[in-house]
Chains A and B, each alone.
Chain A
Amino acid sequence: MSELLVDEKNVVVPGEVIAQGMDYVPAVGSFRDGDKIISSQLGLVNLSGRLIKVIPLSGRYIPKKGDVVIGKVADIGFSGWRVDIGWAFEANLSMKEASSDFIDKKTDLTQYYTYGDIVAAQITYIFGSKIIDLTMKGPGLRKLKGGRLIKIIPSKVPRVIGKQGSMISMIKEKTNCRIIVGQNGLVWVQGDDNDSIVLAVDTIYKIEEEAHLSGLTDRIKIFLEAGHGSSKKD
């Protein structure tokens, strides 16, 4: 009886009927009204079994537990740091979670991270929108020294990373750069020579622009190889 009115991976707008009938279940980005499932966001329809999801195409970063984000130290308190992660409120980074070494209470906290430092951290706890706790204990979570920081639209981050990190590891491999992608849309790139950094940054911007196209990986591969060839010629 149930019927899908919009094909998978199509763009839907708020208020658009995605499916009719009780066989489908609304998940993130959609809701039920009577026997219809309606999109509540501008996004792409994603179907997994009976679940209908709408993956947003635009909008701000909304913090989620478990996300690795890149933030800027905005304030220092008695027992920790406040980190700007691009959300309406700053996140807490407590002394206990800030480093794998023991930090004594009397220590001057600026010795570890000071105002304006860029850090990669993971969200451990969220309550409402005001309380967000971060940790820096974990692989790859550290203070980011040097390098370039670029900003992309947060909803395009999954494409930059790719399935099981396929896209990002390809860029890393071809450009020989160290890259950290924050779920909040900040990307940190560090490399040994300027050409490869520029290529990596250009590639990330290209992915952001073409995030909705299929066959993206192949095109990025060609782009990376062509870019490398031209930079060598110069």
Chain B
Amino acid sequence: MVQAKKTEKAERSDGRKLNEMRKMEAKVGIIKRADGSAMFKIGTTVALAAVYGPRELFPGFMQNPEKGILRCNYDMLSFSVTERKRPGPSRRSVEISLVTKNALGSAINLDQFPNTVVDVFIMIVQADAGTRCAGITAASMALADAGIPMRDLVSAVSVGRINGKIVIDLDKEEEDYDGTTDIPCAFMSRNNEITLLQLDGDISAEELKQAVELGKEGCKQISEIQKKALKERYKEIKNE
């Protein structure tokens, strides 16, 4: 009874409002041997990120004597989805690694570390849509934790259109719904600079503007959570 009532009133299948994101959680410094690491959870999607470097880059011909380079590696673990995912790189993960690199690359500054590489490894432990966004958000915190100079933190969220309504943070059910448009976007919240914008589906120019605007608001909230998580790591020591 209660459930039926809820769905009647709710605008979305899981009872969220159109501009409401899933419950988020962030933690920094989860992997001891990495130079920087972070976890980001949004709903049931969980992403882990580990950063190593600056370190020596092999093969040597890839080294850039002007500045350090960034390498990203995104992967979904085999148990992260209901049906076992074949481990290792795939067409999809290579693409996501590339867009992640571009999304983070414009935020970090590796001029001080020529010939080196900063490696970012993103592992999706649980997948329920929005994994690339969760990955970018986690990786940005891990980079900050590794002491890499950055212009701003990068926060990412997916927005989309379901049944003609613009919504934020789609879950798997919504993403698979017929005719859904999925738009992952990433922002540097201080100056509202876009570092990632992809589009899967169709949408009008006016709606896209609305969607990006909604994503911007969402990323502001995420960036607050990121800040809090980074500060939390040193807070307990301070208040002792």
Contact = CB atoms under 8 A, between A and B. Distances in A.
Label chain A's interface by main secondary structure: loop
B65 A11 contact: no
Contacts of A165: none
Nearest to A212: B237
Nearest to A155: B147
A65 interface: no
Nearest to B36: A58
Contacts of B230: 11, 13, 42
Given A40-B150, A41-B149, A212-B238, A89 B56 contact: yes
24 contacts: A11-B230, A13-B226, A13-B230, A14-B107, A15-B152, A15-B153, A31-B151, A33-B190, A38-B152, A40-B149, A40-B150, A41-B147, A43-B147, A57-B234, A59-B146, A60-B54, A60-B147, A62-B112, A88-B113, A89-B56, A129-B115, A129-B116, A210-B240, A212-B238
A14 B115 contact: no
Interface in A55-99: 56-60, 62, 88-89
Contact of B55 (A17, A38, A88, A128): A88
Task: Using C-beta atoms within 8 Å of the partner chain, give the interface range for chain A.
Answer: 20 to 34
Nearest to A54: B149
A41 to B, nearest CB: 6
A210 B56 CA distance: 31
Given A88-B53, A88-B113, A212-B234, A128 B65 contact: yes
A31 B108 CA distance: 13
Interface of B: 35-36, 53-56, 65, 68, 107, 109, 112-116, 144-153, 188-191, 223, 226-227, 230-231, 234-235, 237-238, 240
Contacts, number: 100
Contact of A38 (B56, B151, B226, B238): B151
Contacts of B35: 58-60
Contacts of B223: 15
B235 A129 contact: no
Nearest to B117: A88
Contacts of B151: 14-15, 31, 38, 40
B220 to A, nearest CB: 12
Contacts of A40: 109, 149-151
Contact of A88 (B54, B226, B227, B235): B54
B238 A14 contact: no
A38 B223 CA distance: 15
A213 interface: yes
Given A14-B144, A17-B190, 16 more contacts: A11-B230, A11-B235, A13-B153, A40-B150, A41-B148, A42-B145, A58-B146, A59-B36, A62-B112, A88-B115, A129-B68, A129-B116, A130-B114, A155-B147, A210-B240, A213-B238
Contacts of A33: 190-191
B234 to A, nearest CB: 5
Contacts of A16: 227
A128 B153 contact: no
A209 interface: yes
